[in-house]
Structure 1
């Protein structure tokens, strides 16, 4: 607590000094306004605005509107007129503008642009924004444009974002690294606390507006996330009155969903509600085959899974924005999620002992006799989250103070029963082992942030902020055997785990622009205090550490809509809770996975250089990156003499990840558009385990090709191909896979409704294949966690008809300093 109080006092003194000091300076003069479509009253983003002298019509200066159609241009006192030009609109002149020395901000209000009907008709090519728009450090994936996501979840959406992959257990990777921080609306969310995969599946795709990927974040962002940050932005409309969308979906295997997003804006108040209901029944299949190399005999086991997982999730989010005054806004929201899972998980073990000279393999093992273990699992996981955000805007454009508070509570109760018996030549010999397990998890999270932004003139800006996060997690795990009519506790597998983590952070950033060069430098300081405890065995592991996280960005604008950027940041990856929890799973008592409460955080230095080029019909981005990481966490599988195995994460290695990434969009004709990404990277990992040294070199190509055909009136067809190359892991290799998606949609009812048919993974090729090999054993596994469905979705938009005019893919560029954004 003393660190918290000290940090707040320092920050308050720092901000007060800046606010008082700048009050003595001469304020610059600005012309501001909002450029809007005359008919729809929608803001026109990234529209050029030129300022001319009224005396001799010479060009004085200019600017461009932001994503809300707002422009703010610094000028000296005098008389001017504006010329505003935008594709598909008539040029707009605003005359008789006089700027006085005594007026620092001249607001021209709403400036309406009328469309050029002839030009507009010739560029009608698409229904919504480009699927992916990107600047040098942030790219935005617009969810509504990807047809294959209709009727899906957040997990399906992330799996289709360029350079992002989601494995079969729901773990998210960015550029081949799982150490990525996932946020919702710029903040950590209770939806993702205990298990990111389950949390992502609980968020309906219909609730999501866009996904932002930040590969090399600046010091203003939380230092967590080695490979970057993924921010999921939920829907909240800005239009006046009531508007929204409603969605119903159904598919095979069983997959049903209902979604609603409603917004009501009037005067100073804006109310928003999101709701999503999802039910799915997923078949799970897979096998593990292993051999233990002995002197004369080779014991082998062939383990087969054919399971069924049923899940039902409800997600509700509601809140309001209220303008206290013209310069102050407060937003409050509440999020509630309740999910249940009922799973039937049978496992069969086929055991056999091969002789040295006998042909071996899983197909050589006799299958007439086997051990069967059946798990029946029920799980409930409620989440409740409160958010309050406050924004204070000062007289100077961009000068503001933001504060936010979040509290979330997440629980998960998992109860399982196990019956195990032996089938001998088709005859069931009865149940020989009865067990049960209970996993009761409770999670509390409190986050408070303060962010202060102070521009100096047009091209300079200072930022500072403070953040605190307090996490308390408890996990009680109990495993029992039923023996002689009573339940006996298994001491080796039962305990109570406590995890407390406090993180306090402060940052400062200075950025400026000189001609075509933008630069920004920042420093973030974080103090972390962690305590873990196994209550029953009284094992405690307190630790604390202080780290500095510098960042820097250079951006240079070249002629012809070209930009280049060089950036650096230092990042940290603290072990996730399920990496630390020593009691992870007991469903397969021969292959147990557990966490490691003694893990240390990984630290990474990240370097990146990028280039972006825009054309009228497309864009292309190229990035070269290198990440050097220490204390790398990797799962290691330990095979015991009795044939059972234990997998747990260890700090083993140092890694160097070098990559080359391409992202592009090409729209040559009105009926065809192609989006794609290629990520080639080489990951060199070196580590030691039990006196043995291992090294792996990985060369991977991740491709994501999305042709989009718009040949029919108000209709689209989309195909996606995704290839994931093999990956080296400790003592083995994870095999590659390819995924093909198809989707088509048709608009009707005056573009107020859309029906979509989406088939994800049409060839059922999304499977997890791995091989492990050493001098003592060999293991191969193949798993499919869930079968991707074919889904039919109906979407209806209330007072929010789909517009079918083309939008430029220019995203403003400018790098981190130009884009801003607070998290």
Structure 2
């Protein structure tokens, strides 16, 4: 059935898109020994504004081509490690012309990297038909930061005080690393992203509507983090060290290397960070009766100091069994111990704000996060036209957990000594095992169509144990209301087909994905709680479609349309029905009745000269999963819940403009209308809001390899479901200096005006008004140093590899 649908879809596309001839540029590049320069990078640049149009790599014979180009004036730039950069004369590409560049022979420099090839500068933002690419190193203020901070500086991305990530106003975003899902959520995902140094990241791919080759999970879309990988032959690498000083000191350091010869490619990435930070969180609650008269106040002040270390390791080996076949092995690991100390003061006041009593809490949580992973992969290229088969098998193991101590001291007004003291302790280990496999096949046709398809299967097993004890008269007695043992198993099987073709003016991509999910949850119970279980089995079809059309031959005006349907499944911990304390007055509760949510979106965009993109989009989510807050007897319970429907309409603008050769401007701005409606704890929830986000960046290139940069972000007040999130923003400044072809130093100041403060209001509470304010260690200065090293070799191998990162994401 799926094959029939794809055949009909392909036939339909062929009927309404005419076959046309396009302009092209081709050539041949060799090294000084007249061997194919397989490690060369060929860049096509437009002469009118020196902008980078496309890059490519040569084939096994050193030949390269740029097909389907609009008529214009261009030049070619070719670079390769250890060789002098070649710049071609300018040439004009006329209509229906196939321009052949004269053969290029690169001249070799000293084998040691006394100079690094200069290529066209990568822009901060690159637009593609199905994603937006953010080049991390283009933003100076990213130096010395973490992956979490890099994400927040990316266009359209927001991160709340809990570390939850949204993309263009939509939550439930899936985070991938090198096209693989992290399988993490909540505090574990936040900890992992904080432990990943920005210096190890090459690019961020933002996909509000990912293609069918990606998992359909994530109604907010997918953010894919691509790590750096050196493709030069020989032994190459770079070292990055950064020190940050705010209220506390932090450091982020990374080292990566690549060794490549004829039959072997070995890569390594290592990172070490220590992160120290704080949160000063105030939560104020006013309790009232049914007519609105105040009955009492409850005021909380929390000072949370966090200290963490992290180690990240990745080793990859590719073996070229033949000119067409590659075997790969990738080993990964993460260790992230952390400690959190919470000094909490809670004050209870009567209606006239006269003190009634107070509680001083000293809470300590020691958290551990350990992960190991292994990937085996195989890639076979049948021919030089791109027909290939890839196979991947993965195993991931996460060991997480925490040791928790909650000490509470109760005081009466004007008393120095507590009249009561209670203590709760907990041990909360968790284990997660993931087995996954994928096979994918790509087949280009002579007609220009490219058909891709694949099958994926994954099995996830989690084991979560929580043991809590109350101290009573010096003895520790089990707290059965909070203690639990939860087991969860999930199996997802998926298949997809994707077809695409580029014409002179048209580009089309369409896909269809089928996913079946089987999940079983079992709460084992205890001496006071009965055991319970649930199981689900559901299947979904998820189409995607992209089309772009060039309104003129110079591609100055391009229209694009995309549509997609996606799903968001509950995380396993969200389904755990037992209670987990955050403090004595705030608890997290799972929801075994949580349903998956489904999203449909459509977007229309116009791009002018690859510099200005305007997008209109509409999104509708059914059963959107969101945090909900309920108050029972004065205690806050946070649990995930389904919001009946959420509708979003948005217009956004993404603009880049160079002012001569010195100044470059980038601006991202969006205006969003959000409407949430659902049956809620206190009746009908029906909230609407319109909010804006603005993210400007100014870069100034100065003589003698100096650069200055200023960037910022501002988001107005947002009403989303139960919450009103206050406006906030930040301004960052940075300066960089290239000390040599190999060494660069950067200095940046983040949030210089200390305006990145989270504030908000919680609506729809029973007889309660609540608001919060959270200040953290956001104003900081960072100094970073990067050094690149390596030795190029002239004896190039005959096979170009990318198999270690070629597989797409694993099905969750």
Query: SS state of the match for residue 337, structure 2?
Result: strand
Task: Give yes or no for contact 1:743–1:758 (8 Å, CA) kept in 2.
Answer: yes
Query: SS state of the match for residue 784, structure 1?
Result: strand
Q: Larger deviation: 32-41 or 380-389?
A: 32-41
Residue 594 of structure 1 corresponds to which residue in structure 2?
589
Task: Give yes or no for contact 2:38–2:58 (8 Å, CA) kept in 1.
Answer: no
Structure 1 Cα separation of the partners of residues 346 and 719 of structure 2:
28
Q: 1:293–1:191: structure 2 CA closer, same or farther, 3 Å change rule?
A: closer
Matches within 5 A, 1:549-560: 549-559=542-552, 560=554
Query: SS state of the match for residue 155, structure 1?
Result: helix
Matched, 1:484 2:473: yes
Matched, 1:406 2:390: no
Query: SS state of the match for residue 156, structure 1?
Result: helix
Matched, 1:637 2:629: yes
Residue 510 of structure 2 corresponds to which residue in structure 1?
521
Structure 2 Cα separation of the partners of residues 339 and 42 of structure 1:
38
Task: Give yes or no for contact 1:46–1:69 (8 Å, CA) kept in 2.
Answer: no
Residue 742 of structure 2 corresponds to which residue in structure 1?
752
Task: Give yes or no for contact 1:136–1:611 (8 Å, CA) kept in 2.
Answer: no
Residue 565 of structure 1 corresponds to which residue in structure 2?
560
Query: SS state of the match for residue 427, structure 1?
Result: coil
Structure 2 Cα separation of the partners of residues 130 and 395 of structure 1:
33
Q: 1:74–1:163: structure 2 CA closer, same or farther, 3 Å change rule?
A: closer
5+ residue gaps in structure 1? 1-5, 15-29, 49-63, 76-82, 94-106, 116-123, 359-363, 802-819
Structure 2 Cα separation of the partners of residues 31 and 622 of structure 1:
30
Residue 689 of structure 2 corresponds to which residue in structure 1?
698
1:123-152 deviations in whole A, cap 9, x for unaligned?
x99984211111232121111111111111
Structure 1 Cα separation of the partners of residues 330 and 118 of structure 2:
37
Structure 1 Cα separation of the partners of residues 39 and 779 of structure 2:
41
1:9-66 deviations in whole A, cap 9, x for unaligned?
x99xx9xxxxxxxxxxxxxxx9987658999963113479xxxxxxxxxxxxxxx975
Task: Give yes or no for contact 1:442–1:475 (8 Å, CA) kept in 2.
Answer: yes
- C-alpha displacement at 1:213, in angstroms? 1.3
Matched, 1:388 2:380: no
Task: Give yes or no for contact 1:143–1:211 (8 Å, CA) kept in 2.
Answer: yes
Matches within 5 A, 1:708-747: 708-747=699-738
1:290-348 deviations in whole A, cap 9, x for unaligned?
01113776111110011211001111111122222111122221111101111211111
Structure 1 Cα separation of the partners of residues 703 and 592 of structure 2:
57
5+ residue gaps in structure 2? 8-23, 47-52, 68-72, 78-85, 92-99, 109-116, 793-805
Structure 2 Cα separation of the partners of residues 74 and 721 of structure 1:
36
Residue 327 of structure 1 corresponds to which residue in structure 2?
324
Matched, 1:623 2:615: yes
Residue 59 of structure 1 corresponds to which residue in structure 2?
none
Query: SS state of the match for residue 87, structure 2?
Result: coil
Matched, 1:307 2:304: yes
Matched, 1:453 2:442: yes
Query: SS state of the match for residue 393, structure 2?
Result: strand
Query: SS state of the match for residue 136, structure 1?
Result: coil
Residue 764 of structure 1 corresponds to which residue in structure 2?
754
Q: 1:35–1:546: structure 2 CA closer, same or farther, 3 Å change rule?
A: farther
Structure 1 Cα separation of the partners of residues 482 and 542 of structure 2:
39
Equivalent position to 1:603, from 568, 587, 598: 598
Matched, 1:612 2:607: yes
Matches within 5 A, 1:53-202: 66-68=55-57, 85-86=75-76, 89-91=87-89, 111-112=104-105, 128-189=121-182, 195-202=188-195
Task: Give yes or no for contact 2:523–2:576 (8 Å, CA) kept in 1.
Answer: no
Matched, 1:443 2:437: no
Structure 1 Cα separation of the partners of residues 616 and 662 of structure 2:
33
Task: Give yes or no for contact 1:288–1:779 (8 Å, CA) kept in 2.
Answer: yes
Residue 260 of structure 1 corresponds to which residue in structure 2?
255
Q: 1:773–1:552: structure 2 CA closer, same or farther, 3 Å change rule?
A: closer
Q: 1:113–1:266: structure 2 CA closer, same or farther, 3 Å change rule?
A: closer
Structure 2 Cα separation of the partners of residues 128 and 74 of structure 1:
19
> TM-score, normalised on structure 2?
0.83
Structure 1 Cα separation of the partners of residues 373 and 56 of structure 2:
29
Q: Larger deviation: 443-452 or 210-219?
A: 210-219
Structure 1 Cα separation of the partners of residues 38 and 315 of structure 2:
26
Task: Give yes or no for contact 1:278–1:313 (8 Å, CA) kept in 2.
Answer: yes
Residue 249 of structure 1 corresponds to which residue in structure 2?
242
Residue 16 of structure 2 corresponds to which residue in structure 1?
none
RMSD (Å), alpha carbons: 3.2
Equivalent position to 2:205, from 178, 203, 212: 212
1:479-533 deviations in whole A, cap 9, x for unaligned?
2101123211111111111111110001112333454223233211100001111
Aligned length: 724
- C-alpha displacement at 1:751, in angstroms? 2.8
Structure 2 Cα separation of the partners of residues 758 and 462 of structure 1:
46
- C-alpha displacement at 1:265, in angstroms? 1.4
Matched, 1:685 2:676: yes
> TM-score, normalised on structure 1?
0.82
